[in-house]
Amino acid sequence: MEYLLDHPWILGLLTSIFLACLIEVGRYASVHLRIQEDPHRKDQMTALRDGLFVLIGLLVGFTLSMSASRYAERRALLVDEANSIGMTYLRAETLAQPNGDQARQLLRQYVDLRLEADNAGLDYARAADANRHAKEIQEQLWAGIVEITKTDRSAVASAYMNSVNAIIDLHEKRTAAQENRIPFSVWLLIFSVSTIAIFARGLTLSRRFWLTVFLAPFTIAIAVTLIADLDTPSSGLIRLDQRAMLRVKADINAHP
């Protein structure tokens, strides 16, 4: 299941095929149970079907809102991290030598590693390696602050220390935001209710009509695909915009 959630468009395709087949299963069950021949059974199944589709709409709307807000949070944290790296680089220019040059060199490497981690996609080994090296640079930056503050307790050193601390905090916040995905129980609920609703839709069909067979499953599949794509930070068509981090890299490279 985790593989499918990391590949939202495959998930959508399989969902639409499965639900389309389920409508046919429901239609055959309707013939066997003679639901169309009994008005009372048909009315009960129609009422059940309508209620289930309302529930699906509520579940999809709630989950879409959840995934969209988390996507917006990830995007805001990326911009905040880019701004923090740029500010730290500028404040490093105010440090005495050779501390200033060392800090700026580390920050150039750091922004490259953050881009590498974001561009790794589903290559988890590549992303983990980039994050490990980024952590090492954080430790080097902090070790540099320890050495600076032994002899310099000025406001300049304090401002630089706060900037480095913000970089470390934002790295952890972005990692936590990427790990904060829609719970599996919510996905299970959506697929369970969709399965029952589509089966009930098949039970109320008296004849096969190709548009009916594909329209409802395709609509649900589109919604599921969009939710999964928004909720997948490392793959899919909807990816985080890296332009803020790229601008910071360009600004840093313009000030050697």
Instruction: Write down the pLDDT at residue 85.
Output: 94
Instruction: Write down the pLDDT at residue 229.
Output: 92
Domain residue limits, the chain: 2-253
* Look-up of token digits 């997948």: 232
CA distances for 27 relative to 20, 42, 64, 72, angstroms:
11, 12, 30, 42
DSSP assignments along 107-154, one per residue: HHHHHHHHHHHHHTTT-HHHHHHHHHHHHHHHHHHHHHHHHHHHH--S
- In the chain, what are the helix, strand and coil shares in percent, each to the nearest 5? 85, 0, 15
Per-residue pLDDT of the chain (256 residues; tens, 9 = 90+): 677 788 888 999 999 999 999 988 888 887 787 777 777 777 787 888 888 999 999 999 999 999 999 999 999 999 999 999 999 999 988 888 888 889 999 999 999 999 999 888 888 889 899 999 999 999 999 998 888 888 877 888 889 899 999 999 999 999 999 989 999 999 999 999 999 999 988 888 777 676 777 888 999 999 999 999 999 887 878 888 899 999 999 999 887 6
Angle CA(136)–CA(142)–CA(143) in degrees, nearest 5? 90
